[in-house]
Amino acid sequence: MWAVNVDGSNQQILVDHPNDKDVEGDLSPSGNEVVFPFDTGNWTYNRQVRIWNLTNSSETVIRNSDGCPDHWPRFSPDGSKICWVQYTSSGRPGNLFVMNADGTNVSQISFAAGNQAYEDTYWCRQDGRIYCPADLDGQYDLYSMAADGSNVLRLTNTPTINESAPTVGYLNP
Ligand SMILES: [Ca+2]
């Protein structure tokens, strides 16, 4: 996993596993850590969630594989928690979970059933809410919710379009 200044200078490697895949990383609000799913190279279902400490290049496994691959771990605005999508054991997008940044206190915050699914978590640092696409009725739309999964808002309703990977910012056209 690499970082580069927004002007393109100072390209540097952050997380270095030469023989494996580090994907879907998120930089902590402090800038000292990266959380990412660690994949043993073959897109297996045996993913771990790890935190890489950028100050001393140490890493910690905060979540071990349980056969349901973890995707899109994202730090909370204060860096104390992580939300992510846990896929199903058959590799389909699944449900949203939140845990402490040390891997304790795992809490399921969405409850998709059947073919329903959540994806592509984004934890907004401006308002503290979690944004993601979800397929709750046959196609993906965008939703947001409080960090405990309550107060769900449906943001789009576009039956012929599958939304993905939202981000939050300020438009200044
Ligand atoms: Ca849609």
- What is the 139 CA–ligand 1 centroid distance (Å)? 5
The phi, psi pair for 53, rounded to 5°, reads: -85, 115
Rg (CA), the chain: 16
pLDDT per residue as tens digits for the range 71-127: 999 999 999 999 999 999 888 889 999 999 999 999 999 999 889 999 999 999 999
Q: Domains, the chain, ranges and CATH?
A: 17-127 (2.120.10.30)
- What is the 134 CA–ligand 1 centroid distance (Å)? 9
- What is the 154 CA–ligand 1 centroid distance (Å)? 11
The phi, psi pair for 29, rounded to 5°, reads: -60, -30
- What is the 64 CA–ligand 1 centroid distance (Å)? 33
- What is the 156 CA–ligand 1 centroid distance (Å)? 7
Give dist(CA 48, CA 61) in Å, integer: 7
> What pLDDT is stored for residue 14 in this prediction?
92
Lookup: tokens for 129: 């809410």
Q: Cα–Cα distances in Å, from 64 out to 35, 49, 70, 80, 162?
A: 14, 7, 9, 19, 31
pLDDT per residue as tens digits for the range 15-41: 998 888 888 999 999 999 999 999 877
Between strands 140-145 and 153-154, the pairing is antiparallel
Give dist(CA 112, CA 72) in Å, integer: 17
- What is the 144 CA–ligand 1 centroid distance (Å)? 14
> What pLDDT is stored for residue 47 in this prediction?
85
> What pLDDT is stored for residue 45 in this prediction?
73
> What pLDDT is stored for residue 18 in this prediction?
86
pLDDT (average), residues 151-161: 97
pLDDT (average), residues 131-154: 97
